[in-house]
Structures are given as C-alpha cells and as structure tokens.
Amino acid sequence: MSAYLLKGGTLVNEGQVFQTDLRIHHDRIETIGSGLSARPNETVVDCEGLHIFPGIIDDQVHFREPGLTHKATIGSESRAAVAGGVTTFMEMPNTNPTTTTTEQLDWKRNRAAQTSLANYAFFFGATNENLEDVLRVDPFKTCGIKIFMGSSTGNMLVDSEPVLEQIFSSTPLVIATHCEDEATVRRNMAEATSRFGENIPFSEHPLIRSREACFLSSSMAVSMARKHGTNLHILHITTAEELALFEPGPMKGKKITAEACVHHLWFDSSDYETLGGQIKCNPAIKNKEDKEALWKAVSEGRIDIIATDHAPHTWEEKQHAYGQCPSGLPLVQHSLEMMLDQHLNGKISLEKLVENMCHHPAERFSVSERGFLREGFMADLAIASLNSLHTVTHDTVLYQCGWSPLNGTRLQAKNLYTFVNGNLAYDRGQFLTDQPGMAINFNR
C-alpha cells in the first residue's frame, strides 16, 4: 500500500506556484494542504526547497518495440522516462511490424503491461491501405491516429488524398501528423547528392528537409482539418512560417493544436558543426531565428504542447555518413530538466512549462485523472530541485542506446523523485519498484 506525505514542497499546478503539503494514499492524491501531520505507517518525504510537478505526459516517443529492440525496448526507455519525471508516454506506430492493425495495438498494450515502468498509450498508425482498420479502432484503446504526411518507416507514408480526406472527415479521434512534403524532400535530396555525392554535410539536413517541405505539408493538413472540423494535432513544428497557421491563446476550445519538441527549442543549425548526425532528426533542427520564433509561440499559446519525439538509435548507427545515418535522438530522460534549465534562463515560466508538458497533453488526448495535481486524481508526480547542477554524460544515461546529444552539458535542475500511480518508482538515482505502469484511461 502506498502511503506518503510530501512535506513543504513548492507545488506547480493550474497556474499557481505555492508551498504546501501533499498526501498520497494508495494510487491517488488524497489531500493537498498546509500543516498536514504524518499518520502511522506513512512515509514522509521532505520536499523543502524542492518543486512538485504533475508527472510529465510525453505524447510523442518511439520506444522501438517490436522489431527494433537492438535500439531500445518499452522496458528500457520507460525506466529512463521515469528517471526524468515522465510518468506517461504515448508511443508511435512505426515499429516492425507497424501498429496498423488491432492485433499489433493489442500486442504493444500487453507488452507494456508486463514491462513498462511508466503509464502508457499507443497511437494507431494510418497507411494508404488500412482505412477500414483506422475507422473502426476502439477509441478507448488508443490515444489517437498517427499520420505520416512525409516519409517514414515501411509503408506508413500516407500520400493518397482520398484516404486522407476519409480519415480527416470520419474519425472522432485526435489525428497527430508528421508534416513534411515528400516530393520536396526528395527533390532537395537529389540536388544535395548531385552537389556532394556521398559526402553530404549534416549542415545540409535543414535544407534537404526544408522549411518549404514543412510548410507545404502543415498548411495542407490545417486546410483539410478546417474543411472537415477535424481534431488535428501537428507534431514537432520547426519553422517560423508554420506558426502563423495556429491560433494564439488558451488551448481550451481549439480543434487544431501544435507541438514543439525540446530539441527544437534547445539546438539550432549552428550545432550541426559539432554534433553532426547526433542531432539529425525529422523534421530537421532549423536556424536560430526559428528556435526563437518557437519560444515566442510557446509564450503566445500558438504552441500548445512540448514533447520529446524520443527516438533512439545505436551509437554505431549514428556514426554513419549522412545518407546512411538514421534520424532521431534520445531525450526522454532529460526533457523536464532541459525545460527547467530554460526556465532558469528566463525562457519559460514554471506555470507555462506545466501547462505544456502536463495539463495540455492530458486535455488534448482526453486522458482521465492525470496531468494535474488534484485531490482524487492518480498520484503521478515529479519532484525536482532547481539548484542541483549536474553534467549529463553517456555514463549517466539510462537509454539502451547508451548515449545522449547532451553529453557534457551542464544542467541546473535535476529530477529527484518520481511517483507513478502512488508508487515511489524513482528515488534520487535508484529505482524502488518494478511495478508496471497502467494503460491510461480516456474521457471519451
């Protein structure tokens, strides 16, 4: 039985930052209030000087299972997530086989029930051929429909306009899109190959997967969603031009929302010179002006969610030349710490951080009883120190791939404790339980 009293922490929740106590009983938050006294058999956690956040909900990760388990597994990456304060993840369908049938969706859910330390949900993937499966998927088994409107793994590129029209007009679920125009990317790649042969510099990546490719695809998705009244969420926006497609202000009532990823808010194109393939990802990290535009959009409310797109590859794979180097980078262990660092540097308030990493993902995907610190809600919490300078090294990462693009980076904040469903799963560098997380429920 879980019974904890968190004493004297600074709670960050629903636009407020205040010092209080918090009691956890079984799997739920029982009481939030000052002056609470410990009960018999209750473990007291001294949170004086620490900040208490709702557990982070990361709505975009790739945990590589099944089929790509030499890179990662649901078990390995969920542990890294929990160490970083991420208590719930939503995983993408481009595994092998892809999550494009009910059978594969059920396989992932069953696997996570056995091995995931964090709570979980899985996207159902669309293809040009599985329209019937997309439209009949159980809405209580999936967080949403994922559409790659740009190149992806296997047959998951959806470039049939009739299929897109059918999905956008018919599904009640949130559609999450990866938006890059495939024809533009292919043309740019051909031009780069003509210029550089096999020695394409990584600095060409944002020119190959260009801003034009992003805007063409994003604007088409937004236009289609407006036409059909679709619930559309566009993942990992990277360019200033795309931001004009989205309305500023509170997320409540929006049917079209946008997301930024921590690496697009952290790195810019000048980092290709030192990091090369380590930060090759799709869509590409763009220039400093785009990064600053993303930050402005976060403050304006044009960006509604901040996620990771955690996408591990082995170190050996990332050493390949540009054409053979896979896209994606591992970040889920440090996303909260990165954004707390940005808070300390004046980029984002604590209230906005929690809104975009906890509240909004829960609201956008209709997650039940998570994403907020409320009495009666599930006890998913991250407790961090904003004054714990530490250096990320390959030796300290928990990803199966064993590396991070942040290697050598000094971060000012550190996640110390993570509660998952009332269990103290992570305590200052140690995992205290192997109790699996839960499949999240949806208010639908």
Distance CA 274, CA 40 (A): 55
Specify the CATH architecture of the domain 56-332.
Answer: Alpha-Beta Barrel (3.20)
- Provide DSSP, 364-413: HTTBSS-SS--TTSB--EEEEESS--EE--TTT--STT---TTTT-EES-
Helix residue ranges, H only, 176-301: 182-196, 205-208, 211-228, 240-243, 262-266, 272-275, 288-300
Q: What is the pLDDT along the chain (444 residues), one digit of tens a residue?
A: 689 999 999 999 999 999 999 999 999 999 999 999 999 999 999 999 999 999 999 999 999 999 999 999 999 999 999 999 999 999 999 999 999 999 999 999 999 999 999 999 999 999 999 999 999 999 999 999 999 986 555 678 898 999 999 999 999 999 999 999 999 999 999 999 999 999 999 999 999 999 999 999 999 999 999 999 999 999 999 999 999 999 999 999 999 999 999 999 999 999 999 999 999 999 999 999 999 999 999 999 999 999 999 999 999 999 999 999 999 999 999 999 999 999 999 999 999 999 999 999 999 999 999 999 999 999 999 999 999 999 999 999 999 999 999 999 999 999 999 999 999 999 999 999 989 999 999 999
Distance CA 422, CA 441 (A): 16
- Residue 252: CB atoms within 10 A of its CB come to 7
Are 442 and 119 in contact by the 8 Å Cβ rule? The answer is no
Distance CA 292, CA 372 (A): 28
Are 120 and 439 in contact by the 8 Å Cβ rule? The answer is yes
pTM of the model: 0.98
* pLDDT of amino acid 151: 59
* pLDDT of amino acid 155: 74
